[in-house]
Amino acid sequence: MTALTSFFTSSIGKKFLMAVSGVGLIGFIIAHLIGNLLIFGGQEALNAYAKGLHDLGGLLWVARIGLITIFVVHVGAAIALTRDNRAARPDSYQSKGTVKASLASKNMGLSGSFILLFVIGHLLHFTWGVIQPESHTLIDAQGRHDVYSMVVTGFSNLAVSIPYIFSLILLGAHLSHAMSSFFQTLGFNHPTYTPLINKGAPVLAMAITIGYLAIPVSVICKIITL
Ligand code: HEM
């Protein structure tokens, strides 16, 4: 076994893979949020942006394959680490309540699994048009995929927007813990900066969550309309 293989199969190596892939995912989440917020600029702004992305063609596929790879690494490392932890602590009952941990940190596996389900549902909805197929085929006056109307029609239905809102809140909790534990995982522990990071991470996670929540909430409140 090479030194590199034994590093990535060790617990610290898996944590490292989870942290680094997590940063990639946060990068996507922030970029996706900025793109989605164009909905507040109206139909033209969002549809032109979506068309611009699709026109990237091969480059878009390179980005998608990169995103899928880091997603698989993140989920794979999380599953492997959970197995390692269980093997090291077969009596999970004894360990309960012994470590000072927030609700978010104790439920990373649960919120992570739910986010995975959310992403699958989200792709079935907005990317593949399996959910609400009638709104996926809408075309705007310029002959472009009408992403604006698809999103507004989607979130106008409370059976769609309420599960979205719930998932986005869980994503916020997951991000909040993930961003503060990132530096700890990489062994960064500083008397001044660590407390600042621990305070800043939830603020950034909250800003991302509020940004995403603003979209379904604005549709429900008719601030964004067709
Ligand atoms: C209010 C919240 C959100 C809205 C309105 C939204 C909107 C969209 C839309 C319209 C698409 C399809 C783009 C297109 O094909 O033109 C899309 C794709 C996607 N979204 Fe979201 N999204 C939201 C939240 C999220 C979150 C929180 C995540 C991740 C945790 C996410 C992950 C993805 C992924 C992975 C794709 C596929 C990208 C691709 O086709 O390459 N989205 N989203």
Whole-model pTM: value is 0.90
Q: Grade residue 117 by pLDDT with cuts at 50, 70 and 90.
A: very high
Q: Is residue 68 part of a domain?
A: yes
- 223 CA from centroid of ligand 1 (Å): 21
State how many domains the chain has.
1
115 C-beta neighbours (distance < 10 Å), count: 20
**Cβ 131 vs Cβ 121: under 8 Å:** yes
> Helical H runs in 133-192?
133-136, 147-156, 158-185
* Residue 79 resides in a domain: yes
Residue 208 domain boundaries: 7-220
* Between 80 and 88, the higher pLDDT residue: 80
Q: Does the C-beta of 55 come closer than 6 Å to ligand 1?
A: no
| Residue 85's pLDDT band (cuts 50, 70, 90) | confident
Q: Could you tell me if residue 225 is inside a domain? A: no
Would you say residue 2 lies in a domain? no
Give the tens place of pLDDT for each residue, 36-51.
999 999 999 999 999 9
Choose among 25, 7, 27, 26: nearest CA to 15. 7
> Could you tell me if residue 103 is inside a domain?
yes
- Ligand 1 centre and the CA of 35: distance in Å? 9
Cα(18)–Cα(15) distance, integer angstroms:
5
Per-residue confidence (pLDDT) for residue 98, from 0 to 100: 45
